[in-house]
Each structure stands twice: as C-alpha cells, then as structure tokens.
Amino acid sequence: FLTHAGDGSGRLFVNDMRGNLYIIVNGTATVYLNLRKAICGDLTYETVQQGFAYFAFHRDFATNGLFYTVTSELKTSGIPDFPVTKPIFDAKKNMIASSHHDVIREWHSLDPASNTFVGTSREILRLEEPYPDHNVGQLGFNPNAKPGDNDYGLLYIAVADGGSDGFPVSDTDPLDTGQDLGTPLGKILRIDPLGNNSKNGQYGIPRNNPFASDDNPRTLGEIWAYGLRNPHRFSWDTGGESKMLIADTGQAFIEEVNLGIEGANYGWDQREGTWVIEEDNENVLFPLPKNDSAYGYTYPVAQYDHDIPPGTKGFYGIAIAGGYVYRGTAIPELIGQYIFADFGHDGRFFIVPVDELINGQQATLKELKFFDGDREASFLEIIGKKRSDVRFGVDEEGEIYVTSKQDGKVRRLIPTPYFDNSG
C-alpha cells in the first residue's frame, strides 16, 4: 500500500508486509520505521496475508505526528480485546487453536517533518484471528471530513470474516461472523483513536455510530457496517459526491464494489453479490427470493463474476483489489473514473464512472488497457509475473500509483504516449 501523509510535503510512504515502512522522497526509498524491530519481533509473516498489512496517517499528522498501523502478531504477545468465542475446526473437522492476533497501534512521531521515525507507540486494540487468512485490512480516515464534522479524525477499520481452513467448504464463513453483531469479524469498524470510552480504555466509540446505542448488550458499538467477507480495501472520492467505495472479495462467483453506507448490511454469508449463497455448498448460487426486500440487504453497485476460461489454472479473475476515483490532472480522460483491478492470474484493470455507482443499480464496467513503451501490454506482461498481487495508492495531487507484491516496484499511471508511425 502507498499513500501520503497529507502534510503538503509531497512525501510518499509505502509498506513492506515483512515489517518496514518506507518513505519515498524524489524517487528514492529509505526506511522510515522498522516495525519488526520496534515491536520486538512479535510480528508474524507465515502467509502472504499476514505481516505489516496497512497504515494510515491521522488527518492532523503535520501537527500531532500520529499515524496507525495494523500487524499480524504472535498470540503470546498480548491478550486480545476481541477473542474468538466459537470452536475452530480444520478441513478434517479437527478442533484447532486460533491462528494469530491482529494488532492496531498508534505511533507518535516527535518530529512529523523528519524522514526517519523517532517517537513512541501504544497498542489500541487487538483481535484474535481464527485462521491465517481474511484478516484486518485497510485503516483509513475520511479525507473529505473537515474539523468540526462528526466524521473528522475517526478511524475506519476493514475487518474480514476470519477465513476458514476448508471446513465445511473452502473459504466460507464457518464461524458465521458476517451477520453476527457481537464480533468485529466481517465488518467495517469506526473508532475515535483519541477517545477512551472503549472497554479497554485505549480508544473511543463514536456516539453517532449506527449500533452504539443498540439495546442488545452483545452488539459492538464499534461496528459501522457489516455483512462483508473480505473488504480489505476502501476509499473515498475526493470530488463529486464524496462517495465511499468498499471492494469486497467474493467467494466462488462474484466480486463486489459497494457504496459505503452507515449501518448497511452487505449480506455475507447469506448473499454473494446479487445472489443467494448456500453456505454448505460454495458451488451453487440461487436467484434472490421475491420477498428479498424484507431482509434489508445492501447490494453492490458494480460486480463481476468469475468467468474463468476453460482449461485455465490458477487464481484467475477471482479477487478484487479496490482502488481510487481518479482526481488527478495528468490523465484528463480518467477524471471521475473509479479504477480498480483483479489481483489474480489475469491481472485485469477496470474503470467505471463514479457517477454511475448508485445504490440499487448496477453499473457497467470497462477494462483499462496499458502500454509498455510503444506496445499494448497487460499488467502481468509489464511486471513479468503470472499473478498480479496488485494494490493501489494515491499522492497528494490525486495521481494513482500501482504496487505489486510480485516484484516490489512502485509504478505511477501516466497518459498513453503519442507514437508517430507515419515513417
């Protein structure tokens, strides 16, 4: 993931899931913070979904020096604020122990303008994860909120459903977390990192959160939206209607782009896209029932299916990577387009006008093509790999960057060059 600090410096920051936070100045990357060293080696990186997953700068970073990280850590490193309360089983129906903890920390830089971190940190919250995959994803602050707004300075946290180990079938929701308001798994959370009215006293629960005043004592006030499978990326349009967009990775059929709506139930594990899912058989979908409106689900504003070519092997076209609405100036043709991709073995990029992403409707997607030099090329051809593992970033000017875990490079989207083939 790549982003900026919002301090007007033009500096870029990018994380390596193995534990380093890098700063990029004038195209040169240096280590800003070594998290593995700072947290005494408790960081765990046993799978590609673990490690130093994400970071976000407080909107007032330039003056308060605060930023936030999420890391996968050994269970021996602390006591979870949100433990798993149900039995966990592997693919052979054997009861097993949980996998690890996901930990969110606040870091305080003593000199926000420095290109090397010097300061302190504190733990905000810790979640127990039942399985190695489907962990805590993105952290983020609403860039459109202004001081005095209810949303200003509130931290959004994307939490996946906890995954599975093939029981009862691969990657369903065996712990039924998506629809359970008593667990943070399968949710978008919203907290006040500077508050203290949480159970552990390390953060605040905003009073205007949709479930903060729920009469059910099991309901978590931290929940902002629910019914999500793996919403590991979200972003806000910094123009137009300031829409929040959530990319939710699908199960066996459908990849989703959702509007971020306070209190919404996106349907997992009862729905996949605009279809009914049978939890015990991931290979079957059913049409929505005639009385579907009675369930109150919020459906994607854009979706695509797992249209895998015959004979294709590998992770093809089945995992959405959320991006950004383009608001830069370098590529006028893309202004107002939501740009995202699939991080499987096809590596396709897509665009859709943000104005067409309307609740209750389905927008049409188009594929975004690239050039490598003077020839058209796929993203996989550009990186020279068989899987894209693509992620998106943005700078202070609204220009979009692309990274891939496959080659560790940072690329920026630029206009298609003009080629004079007249001879």
Q: Quick one: pLDDT at residue 421? A: 54
- List Cβ neighbours of 98 (8 Å cut-off, separation of 6 or more): 75, 84, 88, 128, 129, 130, 131
Confidence of residue 160 (pLDDT cuts 50, 70, 90): very high
Residue listed under structure tokens 């960057």? 401
307 token code pair: 């249209």
Question: What is the average pLDDT across 234-245?
Answer: 98
Q: Quick one: pLDDT at residue 346? A: 79
Tens-digit pLDDT profile for residues 19-37: 999 999 999 999 999 999 9
Using CA atoms, how far residue 30 sits from 15, 24, 115, in Å, is: 11, 7, 8
Question: What is the average pLDDT across 311-336?
Answer: 86
Per the CB < 8 A criterion, the answer to whether 272 and 253 are in contact is yes
* Whole-number percent of the chain with pLDDT over 70: 94
Strands 28-34 and 52-57, bridge-based pairing = unpaired
Q: Is the pLDDT of residue 282 over 80?
A: no
Q: Report which of residues 215 and 7 the model is more confident about.
A: 7
The 3-state DSSP class for residue 383 equals helix
Confidence of residue 336 (pLDDT cuts 50, 70, 90): very high
Q: Quick one: pLDDT at residue 307? A: 74
Per the CB < 8 A criterion, the answer to whether 5 and 112 are in contact is yes
Name the percent of the chain in helix, strand, coil, to the closest 5: 5, 35, 60
Task: Check the CA dihedral 408-409-410-412 and report its sign.
Answer: negative
Q: Quick one: pLDDT at residue 244? A: 99
Using CA atoms, how far residue 142 sits from 16, 29, 130, 155, 226, in Å, is: 24, 27, 29, 8, 18
Please give the Cα distance from 230 to 20 (Å, whole number).
24
Per the CB < 8 A criterion, the answer to whether 190 and 156 are in contact is yes
Show the DSSP H helices in 148-275 as ranges. Answer: none
Per the CB < 8 A criterion, the answer to whether 259 and 231 are in contact is no
Question: What is the average pLDDT across 164-181?
Answer: 76
Lowest mean pLDDT, pick from 138-147, 218-227, 383-392: 383-392
Q: How many CB atoms lie within 10 A of CB 102?
A: 25
pTM, to two decimals: 0.96
Domains in the chain, ordered, with CATH?
2-412 (2.120.10.30)
User: In degrees to the nearest 10, what's the CA dihedral of 184, 190, 196, 198?
Assistant: -20
Count of CA atoms in the C-beta half-sphere (13 A) of 223: 26
Q: Is the pLDDT of residue 315 over 60?
A: no
Q: Is the pLDDT of residue 88 over 80?
A: yes
Cα end-to-end distance, the chain, whole Å: 42
Please give the Cα distance from 164 to 2 (Å, whole number).
29
Q: Is the pLDDT of residue 12 over 50?
A: yes
Q: Quick one: pLDDT at residue 420? A: 53
Count of CA atoms in the C-beta half-sphere (13 A) of 239: 15
Question: What is the average pLDDT across 200-215?
Answer: 96
Q: Quick one: pLDDT at residue 423? A: 47
Strand partners, 392: 402
Tens-digit pLDDT profile for residues 353-392: 999 999 999 999 999 999 988 889 989 889 888 888 899 9
Q: Quick one: pLDDT at residue 312? A: 61
Tens-digit pLDDT profile for residues 399-415: 999 999 888 899 999 99
Q: Report which of residues 30 and 171 the model is more confident about.
A: 30
Q: Is the pLDDT of residue 168 over 60?
A: no
Confidence of residue 267 (pLDDT cuts 50, 70, 90): very high
Mean pLDDT across the chain? 92
Most confident of 50-54, 91-95, 195-199: 195-199
